[in-house]
Each structure stands twice: as structure tokens, then as C-alpha cells.
């Protein structure tokens, strides 16, 4: 089965989403990993949700192919796809 991945930028947060079929991978802030030792650096983990759970937010997402390769490969790894080469 050939799966297609689409990338989108949430215009309100600037975070990159990805979609495969009816599932969307969203970056979720990991509050528990924000510690004083690293100056409260933000860390995100991708979480999969059904597209129907975020249908109200889809209007603020701009779907595009113009995503940095490193971010694309993070999402591709999450979906179990091979990384892209430069």
C-alpha cells in the first residue's frame, strides 16, 4: 500500500503538522521536560489524532510541500517511512 504524507504549517503557532490518510500527527509540548537546567527549552513530541478531532483547527493550517528536510524526516520517521535524502 502506497501512503502519501502531507505537511502543513499551523499559522497560529508555526508548528508543522503531517497527515497520512485520516490521521494527523501534531506536535505536543512536553511541559514535564521543560527544566531550569536547560533554560526551560521547549520540547515537542508528535501525537497521532484522527482528523475529525481537529477539524475545527484545519482552517488555520496551510498545507505545503515547502518544509525543511529535517522536519520532513522527523515526521516521516514517526509515520514509519524512509527518510528523504538531500
3-state secondary structure of 83: coil
Dihedral sign for Cα atoms in the order 78, 80, 84, 85: positive
Convert the pLDDT of each residue in 10-49 to its tens digit.
Answer: 999 999 999 999 999 999 999 998 889 989 999 999 999 9
Which pTM was predicted?
0.86
Is 1 within a domain? no
Count of domains observed in the chain: 1
Is 84 within a domain? no
Distance CA(79)–CA(46), nearest Å, equals 10
Is 85 within a domain? no
Is 40 within a domain? yes
Is 86 within a domain? no
Query: Residues 67-71: what's their mean pLDDT?
Result: 95
The range of the structural domain enclosing residue 20 comes to: 6-78
Is 23 within a domain? yes
Amino acid at each position: 500500500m502506497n501512503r502519501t504524507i502531507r505537511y502543513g504549517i499551523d499559522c497560529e503557532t508555526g508548528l508543522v503538522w503531517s497527515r497520512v490518510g485520516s490521521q494527523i500527527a501534531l506536535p505536543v509540548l512536553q511541559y514535564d521536560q521543560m527544566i531550569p537546567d536547560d533554560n526551560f527549552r521547549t520540547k515537542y513530541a508528535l501525537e497521532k489524532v484522527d482528523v475529525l478531532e481537529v477539524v475545527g483547527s484545519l482552517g488555520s493550517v496551510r498545507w505545503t510541500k515547502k518544509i525543511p528536510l529535517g522536519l520532513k524526516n522527523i515526521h516521516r520517521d514517526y509515520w514509519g517511512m524512509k527518510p528523504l535524502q538531500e
